[in-house]
A = this chain, B = another copy of it.
């Protein structure tokens, strides 16, 4: 599962074969079906499993009780996250692939998303007062990372990330 999360996030559903996953897990592809029903099932479970080490989960683990929105924003909208130098947010990495998947995968994605929104509303240090702020902030963060990953020009990526960080506070005022 660890291999699946990493590879799916990096290369997408279709560009990762079961052979790739099993190879990364130091097994042969024949052993796959002793663990999962199908590739789709694996992907669906990967969406949920990836939340374990997401940027938000990491911050939650480090903080006791409330955490700072600014900290989440700057940790989320950074080059290391765009380049997947650490375990990425599944909402950004799996969004488009999930659009093309079945209802069960979308359901898993929806649960992760509403989970994020609930945490933003309840666990932040008082800056996020309403659900509208939480929802729009999530869209800005995910959009910023998803677009950055598709861009070629480092300068434009710098500008985009900086602009999103700068303007994020306007959404939660």
Contacts and interface: CB of A to CB of B under 8 A. Distances in A.
How many copies the complex holds: the figure is: 2
Interface in A77-121: 91, 94-100, 103, 106-107, 109-110, 113-114
Contacts of A135: 159-160, 163-164
A96 B168 CA distance: 22
A141 interface: yes
Given A96-B97, A135-B163, A136-B164, A144 B147 contact: no
A66 interface: no
A14 interface: yes
Interface size class for chain A? 35 or more
Interface of A: 11-15, 91, 94-100, 103, 106-107, 109-110, 113-114, 131-136, 138-144, 146-147, 149-153, 156, 159-160, 162-164, 166-168, 170-171, 173
Contact of A150 (B15, B96, B133, B167): B96
Given A99-B150, A113-B150, 5 more contacts: A14-B15, A135-B159, A136-B144, A136-B164, A146-B146
Nearest to A150: B98
A113 B167 contact: no
Nearest to A109: B150
Nearest to A138: B147
Q: Which of A15, A136, A153 has the most CB of B within 10 A?
A: A136
